[in-house]
Amino acid sequence: MNEASILITLAGVHFLALMSPGPDVALVVQNATRYGRQTGVYIALGLSFGILLHSILSITGISYLVHQQPVLFALLQLCGGSYLLYLGFGALKATITHWNLSVERSSSSQKALLLSNKRQAFSRGFMTNILNPKALVFFVSLMSTLVPASMSVTGKGIALLILWSLSLAWFACLAWMLSTERLQAKLNQASRYIDLLCGVIFSLIGLTIVWQSLTSFIH
């Protein structure tokens, strides 16, 4: 298989993985619907740079070494699962706190967050992706299967660019679609339910990862 075919296959597999439900998608959905387009796009930017870092670590073999060290990988799982639990409990707390807020108060608080939340949105997106041990395993498998060690430096650079740009484009488009004026008006009415759903997703995934890490420590 030549490099062009490898890159096309890599792009296809990665794009399908991006569309699958998970913490990254839930984070974009929750924040774009509650805080608007700008916050959603900065979340997308953070996620894409997390994916870029995972890709670099995998293509250089560092992630593979981490994956081969049971204690180190279990510690990463514990950190990642704990962070997802933190996001989940935060979303559930926000649901309870804002359950009785009026639409006007909710809207004004969103505007305030929109003006001062760029760095926080980027950081949350980046940390959510980079601390996800499932992402580490995915990219180790993806790179070891589709990117041969003999691939040229230019080819590997293009592969990294493809993974980053596809990630940014997908998550930014998702944030953009969820924050159009017509859809935003409808989603604002359901924002508490979206927070509740995302909180449950984060919490369940976080609990599963923490349980797996603790189990690996015991064994």
Distance CA 2, CA 186 (A): 48
Tens of pLDDT, residues 90-147: 777 777 766 655 444 444 444 444 434 788 899 999 999 998 888 888 888 888 778 8
Helix, strand or coil, per DSSP, at residue 1? coil
Asked if residues 208 and 47 have their Cβ atoms less than 8 Å apart, the reply is no
**Residue 215 CA neighbour count, 13 Å, CB half:** 6
Q: What is the DSSP string of 34-92?
A: HH-HHHHHHHHHHHHHHHHHHHHHHHTTHHHHHHT-HHHHHHHHHHHHHHHHHHHHHHH
Average pLDDT, the chain: 81
Tens of pLDDT, residues 133-146: 888 888 888 887 78
Residue 100 confidence (pLDDT): 57
Distance CA 199, CA 193 (A): 10
**Residue 149 CA neighbour count, 13 Å, CB half:** 2
pLDDT means per 10 residues, the chain with 219 residues, are: 85 89 86 84 95 92 80 81 83 70 48 59 92 86 82 90 95 88 68 76 83 74
Residue 215 confidence (pLDDT): 81
Domain residue ranges of the chain, discontinuous segments joined by +: 3-218
- Closest C-alpha among 178, 199, 187, 203 to residue 96: 199
Residue 140 confidence (pLDDT): 85
Residue identified by tokens 């995972």 is 54
